[in-house]
Each structure stands twice: as structure tokens, then as C-alpha cells.
Amino acid sequence: MDTYSTEEQQIEAIKRWWHEYGKAIILGSAIGLAGLFGWRYYQSHQLENSAAGAEAFEQVSRDLATQGSAAFDRAAAFVSENQGNNYGELAAMLLAAEAVKADDLALARAQLEQALAGSKDAVLSNTIALRLARVLIADNELSLAQTQLDKVTGDAFAAQKAEVQGDLYLAQNQPDQARTAYEQARTAGGVAENPALALKLDNLAAASPQGE
């Protein structure tokens, strides 16, 4: 299941970012989230939560990474307690990613929906909506997936949105439309950031009667 074709890289970006900047946050510094999730477009954004919140998020992240499903309940409790702030939203995305690995799409969907409902930031909202669309596709909730995908806006998300749209078309057994969407993603720079997109295009070309 390629539900999170680029999300693994995004999760690693979160961990690298936290390892580098977490202590500064605990000391009260306002750290910009430039580069978070592997994008160059996240600028002038700050985390303003307490030291206790920062430490708790770090623990949740570590528990999910090392304990997997055994940490789901604790992580979900943290998300509920921090709904509406960045720590809660980031934890929800981490938990959703682990839930997908555990084939618990219902949990992943619930966490992403909760994070999206509380998000006040456009970049995070777009990120969450894309992830939620992927989960819904995997869960065969195709109409709902389209609804979430339609919420994604902005040039910074053009490649990812087009790729997920292609995935949705494939799930709807519309390979020609999927190919067009993947081509749009490639034009927007998706291949450079996500080699899996090139494989999707190659697979569609191999399956084409014309061998395109």
C-alpha cells in the first residue's frame, strides 16, 4: 500500500528538525519551521508552546518511533489534549503515519480529521488534507477523498495534489485521467521530490495498449 509515498520522508524531516531545534524551543526561542515536511515554502512560522508541551511532544514522537502500536493510546491522548496547537497537529500526523503502517486506517483517519478540524495554519491544513485524502483512497472512500483533495490550495502543493489526484483516478479505474494528473505532478516538479511518481508513470505507460 503506497498510502504514504512521500510521508516517510516527511516524518524523518520532523524528527531531524526536532533533534536540531527542540532544545531551543524548550528554552523559549521562537524557531521558524523552514523546511518542515521537506518543503521550502514554510516560512515565518513559530512554535509558542510551553516547555512542558515541547517535552511531551518529544516523548510522544520517541514512543511512536520505538514502540509503534503500543504507544497509540498515549499519543492519541496527547493529541486530544493539544488539539488546536502545533504540537497536537504534528503528533496527530505522526500517529496517523504509524496507524497506516499498522493497517489501522480508521485510527489514521480519525487523527487526521481531528488535526484538520483544529488547524489554523494554511500549510498544516493543506498537509493534513493531502494525507487524509490518501488514507481515504486506501479505505475506498473515494468521494470523501475528492472532497479533501479539493480543499488543498497553493502552488507549493501543486505537485502533491496532482499526484494524489492521479492515485484517486486510478482507484476509480480511470487510467487516462490518472496519467494526465501524474504528468501535471511531474511538470510541477513532483518527480524530483518523489521518485515514486516516476514509477507510477512508468507503470501506466507499460500498461497502455500503445506502450506509451
Tell me the CA distances in angstroms from 5 to 2, 10, 173, 212, one per residue in order: 5, 10, 20, 24
* Interval 71-77 mean pLDDT: 95
The predicted model scores a pTM of 0.73
Of 109, 101, 130, nearest to 1 by C-alpha is 101
pLDDT digits (tens, 9 = 90+) for 167-211: 999 999 999 999 999 999 988 886 666 778 888 888 887 766 654
pLDDT digits (tens, 9 = 90+) for 116-133: 988 888 888 999 999 999
